[in-house]
Amino acid sequence: MELFMSLTIGVLFAVGVYLILSKSLLRIILGTSLLTQGVHLLLLTMSRLKTGAPPLLGEKADAYVDPLPQALILTSIVISFGVTSFFFVLAYKAYQKLGTDNMEELRGDEHE
């Protein structure tokens, strides 16, 4: 399972990187979103998969999965959500002001 998850994470990273290298602002934000998913899965995979019951003590199981990475991922999800939402609005406003979503056209003024 870990082997397969590692491959999946690799694909998510590769596609995410390919997208953030593109010109369109929308594709870049989609790329960061995919990268975030890849990171979350990587965190989970590196702490061993399926070693026991969910970390709810009411289960009375012999073993539980590691609760710490789950707490870390939860924090990360919320933070990346906040950041991504901000980027959405920033991209939207940038397009509204500048009239383009092409990153190659969004450069500093030569004469500044």
- Can residue 62 be called a binding residue for another protein (CB under 8 A)? no
Site for another protein in 23-42 (CB under 8 A): 23-27, 29-30, 33-34, 37-38, 40-42
- Can residue 112 be called a binding residue for another protein (CB under 8 A)? no
CA atoms of 1 and 92, how far apart (whole Å): 40
- Can residue 89 be called a binding residue for another protein (CB under 8 A)? yes
CA atoms of 71 and 92, how far apart (whole Å): 32
Residue pair 106/31 in contact by the 8 Å Cβ criterion: no
Site for another protein in 7-26 (CB under 8 A): 7-26
CB of 59 to another protein, least distance (A): 9
CA atoms of 80 and 88, how far apart (whole Å): 12
CB of 42 to another protein, least distance (A): 6
CB of 105 to another protein, least distance (A): 10
Name residue 24's beta-bridge partners. Answer: 102
CA atoms of 41 and 34, how far apart (whole Å): 11
